[in-house]
Amino acid sequence: MLSKSKVVFKDYAPKQNLLLPPSLDELIEEYHPVRVVSEVVDRLELSGLIGRYKPGGTSSYHPRMLLKVLIYGYLCNIYSSRKLESALKENVHFMWLSGMSRPDHNTLNRFRSHRLKDEIKTIFSQVVLLLESEGHVSLKTTFVDGTKLESRANRYTFVWGRAIKRNKERISQQLEELWQYTQEVAKDELKDTTNIEFTSVDPEKVEQTITHIDSALKKKKIPTKVRQKIRYAKKNWPSNLRKYQEQEKHLVDRNSYSKTDPDATFMRMKDDHMRNGQLKPAYNLQISTSNQFILHYSTHQRPTDFKTLIPHLEGFKSAYNKLPKQLVADAGYGSQENYLFLQDQNVEAYVKYNYFDKDRKSKTLSIAASNPELAQIRQEVYQRLTSEKGIKLRKQRCHDVETVFGQIKNNKGFKRFLTTGKQMVETEIGLLALAHNLQKMAT
């Protein structure tokens, strides 16, 4: 008769004290991404960031440690300061990274919102130059593309430029009608007033005009509706016009903005969950990439791409004191203004124009007869794009820059900002771009 074997379990004594507690370092794998984050941040020059702390008072958490925690948090898809606070108490990687320090969510949020916002681009460019020195990227050839990311703003608190224009025109028209009516009914009472112009609706002038009308008609028998309209105009029109003036300051040359995030513009979102291209408050994120690393990023308030290229490249030049030798982008950037800028800056433009795919299939070039300069530019661009090098770069663009957006939106689940305001949004993107580059460096 066969004897039944005994089940053997490994020792399990969770309450037993350890004579020599293990080091946190022993618990971290040798090539874990958290080590890459720590090593790279230790190599950065952070005097600008450190200089933002005032001497005296209570001691502060070291900015190098806080920067590591934030970058690693974004690498792990942890964007909330409260979740980062929990991770510093529960996650061995964060505990190792912080040296067992436990800054609370307010400290982390203040660091991200106030200390880091003016230094993030300098820190980011240092990391890119480090990547370049180690052969991971090249600043000579870049691939540019854009995507829209939703603002944290309320989706239903919007201001539209067209609505402001219509409202101002309506006030101007109704005021002119009231003035003409008053001239018919009380012409003598208005003889001492200066000529009134209704082409521009200024709050003070409108207020003055309504006062003249009210004074002239005060002792006249007029319909109740007219009297009510004058009261309404006196109470509302000047204040509404002042409000429109303030709104136009936020709009500048935009068509819309959100009341809860005035820097955000309403844009049509391609990847909206309703699949119906809803208009939502958003920012247009532009990135330059090399080998699927992010070289430069910028956020814009314009929904279209062609107006973002020049400011994006000016930011690139500010960061690295030079522009790329070659730039590859899709037809969204193919404007005459952009081609001339790239030409003036000695940047080889592998940038499609609107009719490039049609021209390539028909093997005939669409000539802009009314614009010989643009026709010449298109001819040069067409020859460049259809060359052996151009074909290779066009194919590479899809895999290089669009893959990065896929990583950010799908793998990292980052489709909406946690903060409001252009400067804070750029801080978030900076941390996200740093996390992306260091994660790719680690793998």
pLDDT at 252 over 90: no
Percent of the chain at pLDDT above 90?
67
**Read out DSSP for 297-319?**
EEEES-SSSTTTHHHHHHHHHHH
368, two tokens: 């802009």
The answer to whether the beta carbons of residues 41 and 98 sit under 8 Å apart is no
288 falls within a domain? yes
Helix (H, G, I), strand (E, B) or coil at 334: coil
The answer to whether the beta carbons of residues 132 and 293 sit under 8 Å apart is no
**Do 282 and 393 share a domain, yes or no?**
yes
Q: Which of 116, 147, 169 is the last residue in one of the domains?
A: 116
Using left for φ > 0, alpha for ψ between -120 and 50, and beta otherwise, residue 22 falls in: beta
Q: pLDDT, tens digit, for every residue of 93-134?
A: 999 999 999 999 999 999 999 999 899 999 999 999 999 999
What's CA 21's distance to the chain center, in Å?
46
Residues with Cβ within 8 Å of residue 317, at least 6 apart in sequence: 323
71 falls within a domain? yes
Phi then psi for residue 99, to 5 deg, are 65, 35
**Do 384 and 395 share a domain, yes or no?**
yes
Q: Which domain holds residue 38?
A: 24-116
Per-residue pLDDT, 92: 94
**Do 183 and 314 share a domain, yes or no?**
no
Task: Return d(Cα 240, Cα 302) in angstroms, integer.
Answer: 27
**Do 213 and 353 share a domain, yes or no?**
no
The answer to whether the beta carbons of residues 230 and 213 sit under 8 Å apart is yes
Task: Return d(Cα 82, Cα 84) in angstroms, integer.
Answer: 5
Total domains present in the chain: 3
Task: Return d(Cα 432, Cα 283) in angstroms, integer.
Answer: 15
Per-residue pLDDT, 276: 60
In one-letter notation, the amino acid at residue 79 is Y
**Do 336 and 250 share a domain, yes or no?**
no
210, two tokens: 């309504």
Q: Smallest Cα–Cα separation from 237: which of 186, 169, 181, 161?
A: 169
pLDDT band at 26 (very low <50, low <70, confident <90, very high): confident
Q: What one-character DSSP code corresponds to residue 273? A: T
**Do 286 and 404 share a domain, yes or no?**
yes
**Do 364 and 328 share a domain, yes or no?**
yes
pLDDT at 274 over 60: no
pLDDT band at 275 (very low <50, low <70, confident <90, very high): low
For 183-193, b/e burial (b = at least 16 CB within 10 A) is beebeebbeeb
Per-residue pLDDT, 443: 86
Q: pLDDT, tens digit, for every residue of 173-194?
A: 999 999 888 888 877 776 666 5
Q: Which of 86, 116, 146 is the last residue in one of the domains?
A: 116
Count other Cβ atoms within 10 Å, centred on residue 244. Answer: 20
Per-residue pLDDT, 43: 96
Region 238-248: mean pLDDT is 93
pLDDT at 46 over 70: yes
**Do 152 and 170 share a domain, yes or no?**
no
Residues with Cβ within 8 Å of residue 111, at least 6 apart in sequence: 61, 63, 66, 70, 103
What is the overall mean pLDDT for the chain? 90
Secondary-structure breakdown of the chain: helix, strand, coil percentages, each rounded to the nearest 5: 55, 10, 35
The answer to whether the beta carbons of residues 144 and 298 sit under 8 Å apart is no
Q: What one-character DSSP code corresponds to residue 93? A: H
Task: Return d(Cα 313, Cα 323) in angstroms, integer.
Answer: 7
Q: Which of 222, 239, 255 is the last residue in one of the domains?
A: 255
10 falls within a domain? no
Residues with Cβ within 8 Å of residue 244, at least 6 apart in sequence: 164, 167, 168
Judged by average pLDDT, the poorest of 34-38, 209-213, 384-388 is 209-213
Per-residue pLDDT, 423: 93
**Do 208 and 246 share a domain, yes or no?**
yes
Q: What is the pTM of this model?
A: 0.87
Furthest-apart CA atoms within the chain: distance in Å: 129
pLDDT band at 199 (very low <50, low <70, confident <90, very high): low
**Do 296 and 414 share a domain, yes or no?**
yes
Per-residue pLDDT, 367: 65
